[in-house]
Amino acid sequence: MTAPGHAGVAHGVRAWDRHDAGAAEQAQQTSGTAITPGRAYGFFTDTTLCIGCKACEVACKQWNQLPSDGFALSGHSYDNTRALGATTWRHVSFIEQFDGERFETGAGATEQWADPAHRWLLLSDVCKHCVEAPCLEACPTGAILRTEFDTVYVQQDVCNGCGYCVPACPFGVVEVDRQRDGKAHKCTLCYDRLKGGLEPACAKACPTDSIQFGPVDELRERAKLRVMELRGRGVPAYLYGTPGVLENEADTSRLRGLNCSFLLIDRPEVYNLPPEPRRPSDNTAPGLLASGLAAAGLVAAALLAFWSER
């Protein structure tokens, strides 16, 4: 962890003290929680409540003043922004799952929306703000840091666009905008709004509370209750990004969990999420060690080779 984090905390406290009480009250009303530096905040995205309206995408782009990705029909369901990237920080996935020739199921016990034979899964994807964030670990400049809200943030005045965070991210979130400013961009969890006590724009815009914002510990508690309720209704729900909260959840323990977690009802791959995301920096030390051993051997062999024909 690097120095800028401390500066951020100090600045955050000042901003919190300064901003007027009316905004704080309104913020608490809309986000249902006070936003205090020093606590971990994130999203809990309940895919069973998503209606695919993309309000989150638009609210995100509007608040963060992001340009469009261009105008091209993808042919992939109603998804035309296709993926998270430098200019798309919220992205709604549309997964059409339809078997059989007709909607012929009669008086089924299954609720239509959860019927694996005929359903349209919807998921609003976002940066996961991993507890052990691979992008942050990869960043050689310290541009990516953890804020006082425990979110992962790219400092635009530091990033030099080396792009190493891009392949490091296990979720394909962060991207360098090579066309525009040559720097890495991703969801900031609306850092500027959090500073003002406001919940992030996407969560605020979500009409059905599929995107819930709050302190991570509270969200996990909520998520757990929600999963248990759904399982009681016969829906095979599980959590993605909250290791240790429930049995039978996706294993995200290598990243020590995600501050932005998800409730899913099908396998992670179906939602374009890695089933067990790995922490790429785990490979660095062993790789260097192996290289060191190899180096020792190769250098010794080279010396021998040179020595053999003095």
Return the structure tokens found at 219: 């969200």
Residue count at the site for another protein (CB under 8 A)? 146
Judged by CB under 8 A, which stretch of 8-16, 19-27, 32-40, 248-256 contacts another protein? 248-256
Query: How far apart are the C-alpha atoms of 254 and 241, rounded to whole Å?
Result: 10
E-strand stretches of 127-240: 144-146, 152-154, 175-176, 184-185, 211-215, 238-240
Q: Per DSSP, what are the bridge partners of residue 42?
A: 214
**Of the candidates 210, 272, 265, 236, the residue with the CA atom closest to the CA atom of residue 77:** 272
Residue number with CB closer to another protein (195 or 279): 279
Query: 204 with 185: CB under 8 angstroms?
Result: no
Residue number with CB closer to another protein (17 or 157): 157
Residues within window 150-209 making contact with another protein, judged by CB under 8 A = 158-164, 166-172, 174-178, 181-184, 207-209
Backbone angles phi, psi at 58, to 5 degrees: -70, -45
Q: Of these, 74, 192, 217, 256, which contacts another protein (CB under 8 A)?
A: 74
CA 2 to chain centre: 22
Q: How far is the CB of 216 from another protein (least distance, A)?
A: 16
Residue number with CB closer to another protein (139 or 194): 139
Residues within window 97-126 making contact with another protein, judged by CB under 8 A = 97-98, 101-107, 110-114, 116, 118-122
Q: Coil, strand or helix: which one is 42? A: strand
Q: Is the dihedral of CA 150, 151, 157, 159 positive or negative?
A: positive
Asked if 290 interacts with another protein (CB under 8 A), we say yes
Asked if 139 interacts with another protein (CB under 8 A), we say yes
Backbone angles phi, psi at 234, to 5 degrees: 90, 10
Residues within window 213-242 making contact with another protein, judged by CB under 8 A = 224, 227-228, 231-232, 234-238, 240
Q: How far is the CB of 24 from another protein (least distance, A)?
A: 19
Judged by CB under 8 A, which stretch of 13-21, 36-44, 94-102, 190-198 contacts another protein? 94-102
Supply angle C-alpha 93, 191, 143, rounded to 5: 95
Q: How far is the CB of 44 from another protein (least distance, A)?
A: 15
Judged by CB under 8 A, which stretch of 13-21, 32-40, 192-200, 263-271 contacts another protein? 263-271
Q: Of these, 6, 11, 76, 256, which contacts another protein (CB under 8 A)?
A: 76
Q: How far is the CB of 281 from another protein (least distance, A)?
A: 4
Q: How far is the CB of 139 from another protein (least distance, A)?
A: 6
Q: How far is CA 201 from CA 12, 30, 62, in A?
A: 19, 11, 9
Judged by CB under 8 A, which stretch of 7-15, 18-26, 193-201, 281-289 contacts another protein? 281-289
Q: How far is the CB of 80 from another protein (least distance, A)?
A: 6
- What letters, b where the CB count within 10 A reaches 16 and e where it falls short, cover 269-284? eebebeeebebbeeee
Asked if 52 interacts with another protein (CB under 8 A), we say yes
